[in-house]
Structure 1
Amino acid sequence: MKRRGILVLSTTALLGGCSSSEGDVQLGGVRVENFREESITVEIKIEDDSETVYNTTASVASASGTVSTEIIDCEWDTDAHGQYSIAARVASDDEWDHVDVVEDNSDSCRWIAIQVESENIYFDQRDCENYPETPCELLSN
């Protein structure tokens, strides 16, 4: 009886550790979308569980027609799952805007569009499965 109790307790402890990865997501890329009539420079920080894994600046041309885009280099481990958050700001601004990258239903791969409009930054989270190629895959081709 003691062995069964220990086995159940051990199994519970092992499986309990797996639950910490619940909500982890794969970050398949980040794209900056400029809707402004002037070119912009955007500072971007990517964190995994509060640790900075990537820090960059992206220059994006003025919107030609509707939008101008720039895919940032994917220098983090794009195959790894983590607790990602992204912060962005236009270089001339003092305050950062943030978003936590979250899985959507069963899709654990997400990519983020940082949308810069007039005075605001918005984050659009997109499922990797709904697009033929994620931003990181486009860069590698």
Structure 2
Amino acid sequence: MTTRHDHPGERAAHDPLRLLAVRDAPLSVDEVFAAVGDPAAGGTALFVGTVRNHDAGSDVDALGYSCHPTAEAELRRVAEKIAADFPVRALAAVHRVGDLEVGDIAVIVAVSCPHRAEAFEACRRLIDDLKREVPIWKHQTFSDGTEEWVGS
């Protein structure tokens, strides 16, 4: 685990949680990237998750995301933990719900930190913890007529 080591000019922003949302509208990489801009950040890591046309060896015809009413609160809890464990200058995470098509953006997370290694590590943990802990579920329909719920 990385511990926070503040140096002059590297102290965490007053509130590093800049953008946290679960939305039923298309997501913007530009919006998320702009949200994590910080003059004391030397590294920004951004992850974009998109809908692919296959999963587990089957062709995906349709995909939808749904969430529990507590999803945004859980997203905040996950983000707060990342900000506590890393020297985060700014953090953003947005996840889409509703019906999506192949190629659509499903999730974007970004973290800026004083140094690149911290940004990469914090961003990786943010997406991993979001996928594991935030109650958002994926429903996939395959071309053979079968379907699957993921994350429920």
Q: TM-score, normalised by structure 1?
A: 0.31
Q: Which has the higher contact order (CA 8 A, sep 6+)?
A: 2
**Greater helix percent: which structure?**
2
Greater Rg over alpha carbons, structure: 1
